[in-house]
Amino acid sequence: LARQPVNPALRHSLGVSLSGCLMGITVAFSASTLDDLQNDYILREPGKTEQMSFSALAAAVAFVSGLMFGRFTVVIGKKRALMLSAIFYFVGYSVLSYSSTYVHVFTGRALTGLGLSLTCIALSPYIAEISPTQHRGKFSAIMQLQVQTGILIINLLGVLNIPFRWNASILLCHRHR
């Protein structure tokens, strides 16, 4: 029996849906890194404004920038918006992995928040556009599963006590399509 080639649209849809994993990682990143940030004297002791701000910064930036990026995504297109989000993630996690002050940490977190915003806005509609009709629901569900997988991955890295700089460095190796 000859193998049938995989439909390129299916491969592309699956690859793009994996970007949801990075969304989940970005959302959960602060939970496993606060202790390391305190140990490295980048953030102060628990309960301080810096820690609460670090935890909420990506979501806050994503919310505010989402108001602007909605129209921006329509203008440049969903595929380009996803490519731009990869740049924000890369630069943000680069800054986080080499941070030495809380200003660097906050800058990296804000940049990942911009990437999160673009991914949230563009990913689901893009998957729906490029997926073959009979597979649209499956790939939309896979994207949501990937978000949850990303949250699980970053929490497992936290349980294993992997330092936050390693977490950020690992994320730089993530292949974003």
pLDDT per position as a tens digit, 36-51: 776 766 666 655 677 7
Length of the chain measured in residues:
177
- For residues 16 and 25, what is the distance between their CA atoms, to the nearest angstrom? 16
- Residue 77: pLDDT above 90? yes
- Residue 175: pLDDT above 50? no
Higher-confidence position of 121 and 3 = 121
Q: What is the mean pLDDT of the chain?
A: 80
Ramachandran region, residue 77 (left: φ > 0; alpha: ψ -120 to 50; beta: rest): left
Q: Based on the number of CB atoms within 10 Å of its own CB, is 41 exposed (0-12), middle (13-18) or buried (19 or more)?
A: exposed
Cβ pair 83, 74 in contact under 8 A? no
Closest CA to 127 of 28, 23, 40: 23
Averaged over 85-100, what is the pLDDT? 86
pLDDT of residue 64: 92
pLDDT of residue 164: 62
- State the angle between helix axes of 136-159 and 8-17 in degrees (0 to 180), rounded to the nearest 10: 40
pLDDT of residue 117: 92
